[in-house]
Structure 1
Amino acid sequence: MPQPPSLCTDKPLRGRLATACLALLLGVTGQAGAATGTPAPAEFREIRPDEVSVVFGSDQIEISLDTQAPVSLAQAWAVLTDYEHMSQFLPGLELSEVASRQGNTLRVHQRGSTRAGILHVDYENVRDVSLSPQRLITTHGVSGDAKRLDSSTELRPREGGVQIRYHVVFEPGRPLPSFLGNSALKRQTADNFNAFIREMIRRQDSTPRRNAAGSPPPNNSNPPDHRAMAPEGPAGPAP
């Protein structure tokens, strides 16, 4: 039975593709994050790598994930679209900024790095992001390390939380690092979404509750900087 091509040994892939996959796996949001080091709440079941689907084509890779976060739809949307603060809760993401905004269309610039042991990979990309509020995020790469980058993230309210369906198609532009294989891409994608869901839960848990007078207390729930807390380990993924 034929086996799927390997990122590192298949000739059609080996000759053209890109280090940017670390940064581009998330396409919708931030990139490059191992687990943040923030303890997961008891109700949070971490996403396992085997829940991520990775399909290799002749010159592109498709990654899909269908998962659920135990937060409100509004909170999930707020974190997945918080490009201005993403570098504060996704380790390895050094810069995340909205270069321009027109209604529900944004141009997002991100830069960062990731490592696996002594190996170090830098990435940078600019993406156009289209928002259908609290329903759908689509992105299209306009410059950076990938020849093609298109992603979608769909949100649906469910009992006990929100369903998140993520899909990305990318064609890297340079040879992939040797440590990136099927299992690595699955692990990186799972780690990244675990980091996003932790941040969703942290913010929801710190949402001010109204006091007896009906006024909320001061809001001091800005995202913390987890980067110094993140353990050094295998390369993180790339939303």
Structure 2
Amino acid sequence: MNITQMLENNRELLRDVQGSIEKLDGRKRRFSAQIQIPYSSKQVWQVLTDYEAFPEVFPNLKNIRRLEHPTGNLRLEHTMLKRFMGLDFKACMVLDVEEIGSNEIREHLVEGDFKEFSSCWRLTPISTLLEHGGVNLAYELIVCPKNIYPVALVEYMLSQDVPTNLLAISQRVKALSSIKNSQTS
């Protein structure tokens, strides 16, 4: 079963994702969401930093590749494809990625199909979640679409994609943990 089928079968789990949309100046929007994941920070971090596996995790991310960065840092090219009302919407962008410790990832647009795109993934351990702990995964995205994209359409699509992506990470961590547990039994 691929991640898209898994997510379709688990739509009720999207209720576990808390999110909001905030209108900023003009066409700019802030999307915030979070989910509690009953696995360790290390397990979630491994999924978040396995960039080459992202197309297997995120339903609308079709391609990702590492690019050379002038200072040796991490630079990724993303190609996203979303089908909406019978039409395919494609967005490409190059992002500089900064890993801060083992609990935060920041992405900043270098070039692409948005005027502005910056995001932050943040992990916060939760000791009260189950007996083994867990993690709160928070995501914040600030985006400003170029004028050729209607803001309402981008807002609608991202309001669907952001919670789905957090759920996809949770499902991926769960799947990898199950595989690891079955191999050690």
TM-score (norm 1): 0.64
Which residue among 31, 44, 55 is the counterpart of 2:22?
55
Q: Which residue of 2 aligns with 1:166?
A: 139
Q: Which residue of 2 aligns with 1:86?
A: 54
SS, match of residue 109 in structure 1: strand
Matches within 5 A, 1:60-209: 60-100=28-68, 105-159=73-127, 160-177=133-150, 180=153, 184-207=157-180
Q: How far 1:181 sits from its partner (Å)?
A: 6.7
Higher relative contact order structure (alpha carbons within 8 Å, sequence separation ≥ 6): 1
Identity %: 25
> Aligned pair count?
176
**CA distance in structure 1 between the aligned counterparts of 2:9 and 2:41, rounded to whole angstroms:** 18
Structure 1 contact 52–65 (Cα < 8 Å) conserved: yes
**CA distance in structure 2 between the aligned counterparts of 1:179 and 1:53, rounded to whole angstroms:** 15
Structure 1 contact 79–196 (Cα < 8 Å) conserved: yes
Structure 2 stretches lacking a partner, 5+ long: 128-132
Q: CA RMSD in A?
A: 3.1
**CA distance in structure 1 between the aligned counterparts of 2:74 and 2:61, rounded to whole angstroms:** 19
Change beyond 3 A, Cα 1:121–1:177: farther
TM-score (norm 2): 0.81
Q: How far 1:172 sits from its partner (Å)?
A: 1.1
Between structure 1 and structure 2, the one with the greater Rg is 1
Structure 1 contact 47–67 (Cα < 8 Å) conserved: no
84-93 or 191-200, larger mean C-alpha shift: 84-93
Structure 1 stretches lacking a partner, 5+ long: 1-34, 212-239
Q: Which has the higher strand share?
A: 2
Q: How far 1:41 sits from its partner (Å)?
A: 11
Q: Which residue of 1 aligns with 2:130?
A: none
